[in-house]
Amino acid sequence: MSKSRRDGLYLLVMGIVVFVLFGFMFRFVAKDAMADFKLVYYGTNCLQHHCDPYRESELRSFYRTESVESLAGGSQYLKSETLYVNLPPLSLVMAPLAMLPEGTAAALWMVATAAILILAAVLMWDLAAGNAPRVAGGLIGLLLANAAVVLGNGNAAGIVIGLCTIAAWCFLRKRFVLAGIVCLAVSLAMKPHDVGLVWLYFLLAGVAYRKWALQSLAAAGLLCLAAVLFVGHTAPNWIPEVRANLAEVFVPGGNNDPGLLGATSKSRAPEVMTDLQAVISVFRDIPAFYNTVTYIVCGVLLLGWLLVTLKSLQSQELTWLALAAVAPLTLLVTYHRAYDAKILLLTIPACAMLWAQGGATAKVALLVTTVGVVCTGEIPLAILLSMTKSLSAVGLLGEIQTVLLTRQAPLALLAMTIFYLLIYMRRARGKGATKVQTGPAPNKADIPAAC
């Protein structure tokens, strides 16, 4: 092993160690530890006891029946704790754990989250280390070191993004493809808004990828059907109920309100929102306005990405650039938080490739990727938010200052999207039609006949 590869591996291992230590520390120190896990756990438990968790009154009554203290650590239940908005597939995945005691189920969920994210990180390092092992190890280690809240809070994003990243490695390396199909199917069913654009790339990128993407969609459909049957037996009206709950959490001042009056902005928590609405709302806090502006900006970027993907036969280089452009774009379009930003793992191979090629582009690639990882990292966000508690958005200058000091994540992600999209477009024009080559030749033993 070369010195540079060994150094990169050390940086990766350091990030893994910090991730695990800080995650378990958060689990036993923070008053809202495993809060996101508990919401799904008790919501699924409610279903198993034949009550409808999508009805606030029934879920609140179930908490009282089970003598569950407020999930946020207080004596009263918060509104966000009794508005169940999770899709049925997540409840179906949680169902086996919901039959276990809470402590045992939480421990198993944490172990699964850690194992899946660590495996995903190692696989991305495998893709990137051939070009720039130190850069890859440093960036992945930094990203993992700032993922403690994902682990200690138990949000399903850790498992969903980890599975999607593992699937991407399977497809790009053309190894263990059946496992990749299953991983992508589960992640797509659990949180489609997290991984949908990654799935879309594989659908459009070539015949082999399209086949695997369609198989993943079919498997996700079967999982969703089973989940709907599981949930629908107890909660037949779950669709209008979840719509009503979603509408309530997005009202002004609600938990998911991206504006300055939203619960997240007031709490100064590091789980900041990464969507572009969080920036636009500072200047005009009207949903019709900030949603429209966001959809126009992201729509133009997505259209450019789609045109390049459809017109170009994807090489290994173009595949990495396509994923690097669409990963941060995913976080901008609609509601996402900092824990969803671990999908930036998919940008590391492209950054390492550009760094190895040298020149000004290499420096910009490293800069924008590092800034994106840092600005969506929980430790930097916690430090910065604690330093800006007294900040007030008064007047245009105050609004700009608020955006620059408390809304850096969407700005950094927008810069990443634009940069990688421009490089993707330029390289696609320069290469013209190329044969698909995304790693070593397929290992026939690893590809099932069905694929």
Classify burial at 375, counting beta carbons within 10 Å of its beta carbon; exposed 0-12, middle 13-18, buried 19 or more: buried
**What length does the chain have?**
451
Angle at 270 between CA 398 and CA 278, to 5 degrees: 45
Q: Considering only CA atoms, which of 268, 15, 52, 35 is closest in space to residue 156? A: 35
Q: Output phi, psi for 34, to 5 deg.
A: 55, 25
Contact 86, 39 (CB under 8 A): yes
Amino acid at site 344 = L
Is the entire prediction scored with pTM above 0.85?
Answer: yes
Token output for 232: 């629908």
Contact 345, 115 (CB under 8 A): no
Per-residue pLDDT tens, the chain, 451 aa: give them. Answer: 789 999 999 999 999 999 999 988 888 887 778 888 999 999 999 999 999 999 998 998 888 888 676 666 555 566 667 889 999 999 999 999 999 999 999 999 999 999 999 999 999 999 999 999 999 999 999 999 999 888 988 999 999 999 999 999 999 999 999 999 999 999 999 999 999 999 999 999 988 899 999 999 999 999 999 999 999 989 999 999 999 999 888 888 888 888 877 777 665 565 688 999 999 998 998 999 999 999 999 999 999 999 999 988 778 899 999 999 999 999 999 999 988 999 999 999 999 999 999 999 999 999 999 999 999 988 787 777 766 666 666 677 877 887 888 888 999 999 999 999 999 999 998 764 333 334 444 444 333 333 2
Q: Considering only CA atoms, which of 88, 105, 112, 104 is closest in space to residue 41? A: 105
- Three-state DSSP string of 242-260: HHHHHHHHCCCCCCCCCCC
Contact 423, 321 (CB under 8 A): yes
Q: Output phi, psi for 337, to 5 deg.
A: -120, 175
